[in-house]
Chains A and B, each alone.
Chain A
């Protein structure tokens, strides 16, 4: 076997070289694939604000992948370019919507703060705490530290509770569900606590009264591994200090 090799080797090498030259795929539109995949990477986050563009981008991507399988590289390249462009448009649309929402929110908060200031000026007598009876826990979406509409409404209640008790200091605890890494969840939990504190401050609560801590996935409200439990665990909780 070993002695036969030297005689065969040149022929095999020739054959290999010929096959390699003839058949190694060349026309794969790699830059377009990479660019499309990068543009598609965060598409999940855009599907609520630009659902049509996201769906169109996904369809183009699927089509492109199908064309790749059929080795129709030129057509695939066009489809990848289309997917990328659609994803970019979706991102732009979301950015614009977000900006508009932020402006409106800013305006509303300014009005609230003005009302609060006016109330303080009028020196409204400190009556027995009325309004909400306790601080409520606010919930978050998966891998998100942005406050939902429900969370904002809950925090407005909490701000009212805190305004009625000016001496009270609280710890804002950020928590996550058990999915994902220990470290990332500690960072995400802290972001949730920070977003919560920031919003309360905007509503006029003194930042000195709000301490934050992240427990990541270490202190679940519900230890089960169901979607329902995960939903309860992605939260910012309040602990009254003193």
Chain B
């Protein structure tokens, strides 16, 4: 039985971006029916794990110009400046909107919203809800979305493929997990908000669900993945698990020290350290409040110099917040304390926390314009799965949560406009596409026996190749090896067979589909890293050391899928008022 479900607008992904878009659509036109398809219940989405905060200019002494400049310089000039400008301009309104929807922002004594310093930002502009900002934002959005009747959720439906009719995106096929049935969900416009792909790497802050499904769906439908060589390592994750210790711990005054007790960042052109008792500490855009790419790179240099600790799970340094005192730690970063106590048995009130860089965020993603529109009519993308691009070669901490809101709202509005201007899709011809997809999944996975490969083997090999080839420092040989490995793994993936041949809630099937998605993206990411012959932001090539090469590489990369692997093209960066300049911190 083929079933087609019809809506006016379809959103794939129920995290921060998807929910913001859904609300934007419901408010723009209450007569539209909106579908939110998500492989997990919305409150399980990875937005929930974001900790430190969300940036928007609010203080009178701050300025939009400064936020724009911080973002562009943080991005090592690879961000599109028109997009950054729109983002920064709309950020305060969006953040206030979330306040009006009940988000429990931390407050100043006078009742106004409090802001904290963050890495790479010139002034305090990061709104926060203690250190569970993402959690509170997601729950506020989810709970608010419940009041809009036109929003119909398809929780625990796994989208597998875009439905395309005459070059226009008109929906997706999705597996209803509890029955295992593949259904078509058809709509006048589709917005992908499926998050990043941190699970390509073995050591990541990212949740298990971050497998780049939406990126892969768009990529396979012929849309380019942009700037996939740029991935962010967060400088402070717990060894072993990779659990995130928020940048807010440094924003509140925490310091990084090596095994000699030395605040090593001062040796890497990030400014002079102030004593932690100095009222000026922590200094903005300096030392521990430098950008994430540089801090992670400093760690590797320290490790190479033999000045890091060595433990069961590799090298690490210390993040010391003891001087903040129990009261401040409990008030400002209670989750840091909870996580450190639970997962490494250390109470940060009394002892420094062991930390090391950990894969955190994929700057690249589905190529979109400033409104979230992709090159395929009817298809939009928002959030970590998309690349607008405001993050360039390195995202500043606390910009991504705001990005979900600003571009979620924008894409929602654009999708409404698009759907209104188009005729309703014809469902008849789509039934065949849905049937084909059901047969493909049945043939390739559910009914298949006698395969020789296990998912875990392939996934582990993919993780290892990404870590060694497409990590903090790269070179031609390593990235090439990763490309070759992904091609090999894609071949071997054809020989996967599953233990689980049933339809009911088959999570081994979804794991297989996720791995298939990740291999596609991993291949694009490693080739993009191989092709870009310069060092910029988070993309550091040891064979093409800094400074960056604006003459040849001030441009985005676009990876297109072909049957023989990705093809890389290039696109100019939009430069408006901020000509490329030297990126300096700590002066």
A binds B: no
| B interface residues with partner A (beta carbon < 8 Å) | none
